[in-house]
Structure formats: C-alpha cells, structure tokens
Amino acid sequence: MHPQIAKAVDSVAQQVEHNTFNVGVLGSSPSRVTRERPTKKSAYFFKSSTMRKLALTLMVLASIFVSTVAFAQEPVKPYKVYCEIVSTTKIFSNKATVELDFGQFSGFWSADRQLVDEQGNTIDFNSALDAANYMARRGWDLEEVFIVQEMSDGSSSSPRYHWVLSKMVTDDSQITEGLRTRGMNK
C-alpha cells in the first residue's frame, strides 16, 4: 500500500498478514488504531478554552463573594439612650419652661439646656406634655414621669416635672438628632 494511503487508513496489521491469531473473535482483527472515546467521567465542559476561562472566572467571583460575606462587619446593635425633660411653670404665664438633659455637660446656668430653634431662639411650650409630644415626633418614647417640689428655705415653690424619655440608637450622634439646646450653640 502506498505510504500516504496507509497513513490515512492507519492499519494495524501488516500487509502480508492474512489472518490474525483469533480470526473468529469480534474485535481481535482491528482494521485501524482505535481512538479513546471520552467516558462519562470526563467532562466535555472543560475541553474548550472558552469554557475553562468561564469556569475559572466563576470560581474567582464565587471565592470573592464568599470572602466578602465572611469578613463583613456585623451590624451595630441598637441600644437605648435616655433623656430627661425638666419642666416648670413660668411666673405670670401659662407656658412652661423646658430644659433637656441628655447627660451632657452644661454650664452653671440652666438656660444652656433649653431647646432652641435654628436661629437660637428659645422654643416655648404650652406644657411639659407639649414638650413630650415634640420629643415623640423625633423618635423619643415616654418611660416615666415624677414630680419634685423643691423647698430649700421651707417656703413652697412651684413643682418641677421630670419626664424620662428613651430612644433606640446605633450611634451617639443620633441622640440629639433634630434637637438643639442653647448650650449646643455656644
């Protein structure tokens, strides 16, 4: 047989050989070299270089996602903070003087704890309840109310109403959110 034809046919047996050792057995006389067929275990998916690149990209993205989720910071748990409204009735008026105590430092004068607007003017309230409603609109909840009658020299004085409020926050900057006292403007 011509060498070019023999190469194309790829015969196994020699040209002079007529019969192989086991003539009658199926598969004992192959006419050409057999090619290995892929088994079910080998994956056609990774035969293509495009598929290998896609699979590698997906594995990298999945590992980035998993590492991001694993090292993400835990959310800050909300905690409760308190505020006290101290209210007294104004002399010769039906309005209330209201001071806020967040536990902040205030000067000698209690006026540092009075609520003010954006221009620094004192906010007047009709009563302590009016002030409590003002605070409720800013997320504060009523915890307790008590009255203190201060009489240092034995004479009667006007009662001071103390309203204890609470609010859930995740950061201390949220305590005074939407509120301003005279002491904060200094």
152 and 62 belong to one structural domain: no
105 and 176 belong to one structural domain: yes
128 and 49 belong to one structural domain: no
For residues 132 and 96, is the Cβ–Cβ distance under 8 A? no
Q: What is d(CA 7, CA 1) in angstroms, rounded to the nearest whole number?
A: 10
Beta strands in 31-95 (DSSP E): 79-89
30 and 62 belong to one structural domain: no
Please compute the mean of the pLDDT values over residues 76-92 and round it to a whole number.
86
pLDDT 10s digits, 138-173: 999 999 998 887 666 666 667 788 899 999 999 888
23 and 111 belong to one structural domain: no
122 and 88 belong to one structural domain: yes
176 and 85 belong to one structural domain: yes
Query: Phi and psi dihedrals of 20, rounded to 5?
Result: -85, 180
Q: What is the pLDDT of residue 17?
A: 55
Would you state the structure tokens that stand for residue 21, as one six-digit string? 């050792």
Domain with 26, as residue range(s), is 1-35
Q: What is d(CA 111, CA 95) in angstroms, rounded to the nearest whole number?
A: 16
Most confident range, picked from 17-21, 61-65, 71-75, 130-134:
130-134
126 and 62 belong to one structural domain: no
102 and 179 belong to one structural domain: yes
pLDDT 10s digits, 97-119: 888 888 866 555 556 788 888 88
User: What pTM did the predictor assign?
Assistant: 0.54
How many domains does the chain contain in total?
A: 3
99 and 130 belong to one structural domain: yes
pLDDT 10s digits, 16-31: 555 655 655 555 555 5
Q: What is the pLDDT of residue 47?
A: 59
**Could you tell me the strand order of the sheet in which 79-89 lies?**
96-101, 79-89, 160-169, 141-148
Asked whether the predicted pLDDT for residue 95 surpasses 60, the reply is yes
